[in-house]
Chain A
Amino acid sequence: MNRLEKLIVLDQRFLFTLTSYFLILAIYINLNALKSPAIGAVVFVLYFLINGIFLGHAFFDKEEAFFRLMFGVLSLIMLLGFVGWVVMMIYNLDATESALVLFITATLSSLLNGRMKHKNAT
């Protein structure tokens, strides 16, 4: 678990950020064409794992690994909720807008993780 977390947090060449974007694309295609809950469950877990770890590292790096992940996932839920709430208030939350919410959240998570990584390096 720790090794996986380190790998994700390092995000070399934005591999995991790009994976997140790919997952959003998969969610969008699944939602419009395949409509498979099995695919949905897999991408949901992966999306939450990557971005939860990003946020856990960005804000709760001093906690133990398990609690870091829990806080990361909870803050991801909060971020998703907040961005979703704003987008919904502006217009609505159809398939495209939902993908947009996931994209904004993934980008913010990656940026925050990158900022923390940079902070640790200097």
Chain B
Amino acid sequence: MKGPFRFQWSQPRPALAWRVGLAWIILFLCALPLQGEQISSQGDSILERSHRFLTLSDESVRMVLLGTILMGLSCGVMGGLVVTRRLSLFGDTLSHAVLPGVAVGFLWSQSKDSWAILVGATVAGFLGVALISLLRKTSRIRQDSALGLVLSGFYALGICMLTRIQKMEFGNQSGIDKYLFGQVVGLSSSDLWTMAFSCLLILTLTILLYKELLVAGFDSEYARSIGRPVDFLQYLLWLLLAFAVITSLQVVGVVLVSALLVIPAATASLITDKMRAILIWSAMLGCMAGATGAFLSFLGNQLPTGPIIVLVSAVFFLWALFFHPQNGLFFKWLAARNRNQRISLENTLKAVYQELESINFQKETTSVSQLAKRRRIGMPQAHRETDALVARQYATIHPVEDKLAAPPRPTLLSLTPKGWGTACRIVRNHRLWELYLTNEARYAPDHVHDDAEKIEHVLGEETVRRIERILSNPKKDPHGKLIPSQQDIDRGFIA
């Protein structure tokens, strides 16, 4: 990678990143509003609306932003823990399994009390998880079927219960849609307190038990052998996951919660392969997606917040997939393209050298048509490759001054000192490698050409020097052709 494409994507310093993250939480906890109102922004221009959003002057804007950020943080951290353990599908199942619990919470408190819902949903989530492990232990059902079974069964039950509740007298605020698809403007301050509580719990326990979670996740048998309660940690993980899922339900809805668990964590694992960094990146990406999604849906007025947040995370994911400096597909493609261009260029130079060699270096020029013949390519491509040589100052072209020749007049080509040097180097690499293979690796002389065709482009100076030493500075290759020497390169011609 060269030039403008090389930029550094610096790794976050863990301590700093944590501090920044905590500062954000504290900032927003301080700004915790007490009363929410519907966002009404009919008739505002986009500029006005983005001004209102960015200055946080609106009570409801503050609440929405706080909610989405807290959700991004909780789901990001939990997602990091879950995805690295290959439990993403568990997250999905859990998010559906909590739905009947939400309904029970409604019935219990006879209103939309977020604490009652949290308790009910957690219990339902645990029932779901327990059912999965029970199914696996007592029957021949495999894990994926058990997950699917619990997911759909609990989901169906939850929808039936919520629909029924909607028709009861206290059920007017329940709104089944809220839980299925999320409705961020409906967040109340008690919802936010619940979210803040669960987020704080998740962060605290993840930091305190980082070491234990790491060893249990990597090597549970070993963790047991040093006396760590692996099963307890597993249940704790479910509990925290349930909290993250339940508190996010109102923002993005049952169906999309798992996206927020999986996408930021998957993005983070594209960026780094260290657990600590994955958790930090995942949390930050979750927050950023939450905040950006809230902003965009506010600007768009009618756009649903949950899906927008998920889309923003997906965009982050695609960005990392293509533009990560080391692993990004775009940079890999770019590097492959550069390499192919270089190889093609070097092959053309080699062809020019061989053309000159075939006339014993009597002349310093060769024509494009001869080049095309030697490389077995058409004239248009030969011209393109010649142009590439000229553009990089490896060669110069001059039209033939023979007035008698019919148009199109042949173009003559001569190498610059730079072009001559590179051509010599490639031919030298090729012939040295052939000689090395025949003399040292005992290849037959007619087996070495194809290998040398590839190796000639990748041999480094260091390796070439070593081969020279091993072969004690040879003059001729296995086919009896001269190997151009350093003097030939300096001199500019073969003597």
The answer to whether A and B come from one shared complex is: no
